[in-house]
């Protein structure tokens, strides 16, 4: 009898099992997804510190936070541009909600001054956004004075002067892209931990930190260093929501800050015109704010760059070829 009943048992089809598991999966996803920050810190109560807000995405972020009614502190090295950005923000919100402090992210003294200012004015901050950084546009051997020709390298070896110059350029790139975020982390992580209901840090990095590109050796390596630094800090400080933002090329004049541009000359740009083909600053800034509100961890923009990252693991030769095409780079 038992054997007969076993033969009568009908197993549910796979589709039925999948439909039954779907609600459970959605409930699990909802449970594991972090709660929105907006429930803890309404936009008009948020205290936002933007390092690198005199131009580019940093300046656009300042505009958008001003429209939301947040209290914003703008920080940048160029005083005239900093005052311009602050005045633009004051026209978008109540003027007493805008604070600006001139400072260099790579300076311990300047960052301590910024920290003292936000403590005095607001008793702390809720959101730290680090957009400050520098670009580097040349192949590494070119920075050292060695150029590629159809017959090989010329000269065949880097001179001592060329090597020293390349080291100096690397130090400038490290100051802007690594030591700036490094000092900011040391300065503001204790403040965020002690004074905010929902502390958050956004590191504005680059997809080049994960997918290498020709002519971006110094830029990519220094961006990668700060990216891994903040990923490790996220583990050490779980109370803080850390977000790594990894965009592709963005419109604007960021390349004017290239630390490897030869003296008395304009930077050499190898890829297509960023102002024609780059991501729009307003769209990038909006996505940054959305990601902070949602407590996201890592954002690629455009999203297909995440696939490019995976492709570099699976088929690196293809990704390297596509990188050469994008940057109009020909290996001799």
Model confidence pLDDT, tens digit, residues 2-61: 454 444 455 555 555 455 554 555 445 444 555 688 999 999 999 999 999 999 999 999
- pLDDT at residue number 40: 94
For residue 127, what are the domain limits? 39-138+176-327
pLDDT of residue 34: 58
Detail the DSSP E strand segments found in 164-310: 200-204, 241-247, 298-301
Residue 88 is part of a domain; what is its CATH number? Answer: 3.40.50.720
pLDDT score for 265: 56
Cα(37)–Cα(266) distance, integer angstroms: 43
Residue 62 above 80 pLDDT?
Answer: yes
Q: Are 61 and 288 in contact (CB under 8 A)?
A: yes
Identify the pLDDT of residue 266: 58
Q: What is the pTM of this model?
A: 0.86
Number of domains in the chain: 1
215 in Cβ contact with 138 (< 8 Å): yes
How much is the mean pLDDT over the chain?
87
pLDDT at residue 123, as a whole number: 96
Question: pLDDT at position 264, please?
Answer: 52
pLDDT digits (tens, 9 = 90+) for 200-237: 999 999 999 999 999 899 999 999 999 999 999 999 99
- The percentage of residues in the chain with a pLDDT greater than 70, rounded to a whole number, is 83
- What was the pLDDT predicted at 319? 92
Other beta carbons within 10 Å of 27: 10
Give the per-residue pLDDT at 332. 57
Query: Which residue, among 269, 157, 147, has the nearest Cα to 213 in the 3D structure?
Result: 269
* 59 part of a folded domain: yes
User: Among residues 173, 170, 290, 186, which one has the least CA distance to residue 229?
Assistant: 186
What pLDDT sits at residue 154?
80
- The token duo for 263 is 């003296």
Using omega within 30 degrees of 0 as the cis cutoff, is the peptide bond preceding 302 cis? yes
Percentage helix, strand, coil for the chain under 3-state DSSP, each rounded to 5: 55, 15, 30
Under 8 Å between Cβ of 102 and 23 = no
Question: 320 — phi, psi (to 5°)?
Answer: -65, -40
Whole-number CA gyration radius for the chain: 24
Asked whether residue 157 carries a pLDDT value surpassing 70, the answer given is: yes
Distance CA 59, CA 86 (A): 9
Please give the pLDDT value at position 261.
75
> For 236, what's the count of Cα atoms within 13 Å in the CB-facing half-sphere?
10
Please give the torsion angle defined by the CA atoms of residues 148, 150, 156 and 158, in that order, rounded to the nearest 10 degrees: -10
Judge whether 144 lies within some domain: no
DSSP β-bridge partners for residue 285? none
The pairing of strands 98-102 and 71-76 is parallel
Give the integer Cα–Cα distance in Å for 179 and 166. 18
Q: Lowest mean pLDDT: which of 78-92, 130-144, 272-286?
A: 272-286
Query: Quick check: is 199 in a domain?
Result: yes
The answer to whether residue 56 sits within a structural domain is: yes
Name which residue leads in pLDDT, 309 or 254. 309
CA dist 132 and 60 (Å) reads 13
Residue 52 lies in a domain: yes
Whether 149 and 271 have beta carbons less than 8 Å apart is answered as no
Within a domain: residue 143?
no
Name the residue among 193, 199, 244, 190 with its Cα closest to residue 41: 199
Question: Given this model, what pLDDT does residue 153 score?
Answer: 81
* pLDDT beyond 50 at 277: yes
Residue 234 lies in a domain: yes
């Amino acid at each position: 009898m038992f054997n007969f009943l076993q033969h009568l048992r009908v197993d549910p089809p796979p589709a039925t099992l999948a439909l039954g598991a779907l609600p459970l999966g959605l409930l699990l996803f909802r449970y594991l997804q972090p709660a929105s920050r907006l429930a803890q810190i309404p936009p008009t109560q948020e205290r936002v510190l933007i390092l690198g807000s005199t131009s580019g995405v940093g300046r656009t972020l300042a505009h958008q936070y001003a429209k939301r009614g947040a209290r914003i502190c703008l920080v940048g090295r160029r005083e005239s541009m900093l005052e311009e950005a602050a005045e633009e923000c004051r026209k978008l919100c109540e003027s007493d909600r805008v604070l600006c402090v001139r400072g260099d992210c790579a300076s311990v003294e300047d960052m301590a001054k910024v920290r003292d200012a936000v403590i005095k004015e607001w008793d702390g901050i809720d959101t730290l956004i680090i957009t400050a950084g520098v670009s580097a546009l040349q192949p590494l051997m070119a920075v050292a004075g060695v150029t590629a020709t159809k017959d090989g390298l010329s000269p065949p070896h880097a001179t001592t002067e060329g090597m020293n110059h390349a080291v100096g350029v690397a130090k400038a790139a490290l100051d802007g892209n690594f030591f700036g975020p490094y000092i900011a982390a040391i300065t503001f992580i204790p403040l965020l931990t002690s004074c905010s209901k929902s502390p958050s840090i956004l590191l504005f990095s680059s997809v080049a930190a994960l997918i290498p590109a020709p002519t971006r050796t110094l830029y990519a390596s220094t961006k990668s260093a700060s990216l891994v630094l903040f990923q490790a800090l996220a583990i050490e400080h779980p109370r803080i929501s850390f977000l790594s933002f990894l965009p592709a090329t963005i419109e604007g004049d960021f390349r004017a800050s290239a630390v490897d541009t030869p003296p008395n000359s304009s930077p050499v740009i190898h890829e297509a015109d960023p102002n024609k083909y780059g991501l729009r600053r307003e769209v990038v800034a909006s996505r940054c704010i959305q990601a902070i509100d949602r407590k996201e961890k890592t954002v690629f923009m455009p999203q297909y760059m995440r696939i490019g990252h995976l492709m570099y693991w699976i088929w690196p030769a293809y990704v390297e070829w596509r990188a050469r095409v994008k940057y109009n780079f020909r290996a001799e």
